[in-house]
Amino acid sequence: MSSLFDLVAFDVGTIAEMVESLVNDVLRPRQRSSGRSFTLSSENPLVVLVIDELSSLAQDRNFAKSGLSENLNLILSQGRSDGVYVIAASQVGHKEVLGGLRQHFANRIALRVDTAIEVDMILGAGALACGAKPHEIPVANDANSYRTAGIAYVRSDESPRLLRIRFPYTSDEDIQKLLQADPR
Domain limits, the chain: 1-105, 107-184
Express each pLDDT in 5-21 by its tens digit: 788 899 999 999 999 99
CA distance 7 to 10: 10
Can you give the pLDDT at residue 166? Answer: 95
Residue-level length of the chain:
184
Express each pLDDT in 98-133 by its tens digit: 777 878 888 899 999 999 988 988 898 899 999 999
Q: Which amino acid is it at 122?
A: I
- Point out the residues of the chain with pLDDT beneath 50: 1
Query: The dihedral of CA 122, 123, 129, 132: what is its sign?
Result: negative
Can you give the pLDDT at residue 3? Answer: 61
Can you give the pLDDT at residue 180? Answer: 82
User: Rounded to the nearest 5 degrees, what angle is found at the Cα of 75, between the Cα atoms of 29 and 3?
Assistant: 80
Can you give the pLDDT at residue 182? Answer: 67
CA distance 184 to 182: 6
Can you give the pLDDT at residue 50? Answer: 94
User: Rounded to the nearest 5 degrees, what angle is found at the Cα of 174, between the Cα atoms of 40 and 137?
Assistant: 90
Can you give the pLDDT at residue 1? Answer: 46
Exposure class string for 136-164: b at 16+ Cβ within 10 A, else e: ebeebeeeeeeeebbbbbbbeeeeeebee
How many Å from the N-terminal Cα to the C-terminal Cα in the chain?
Answer: 12
CA distance 94 to 80: 24
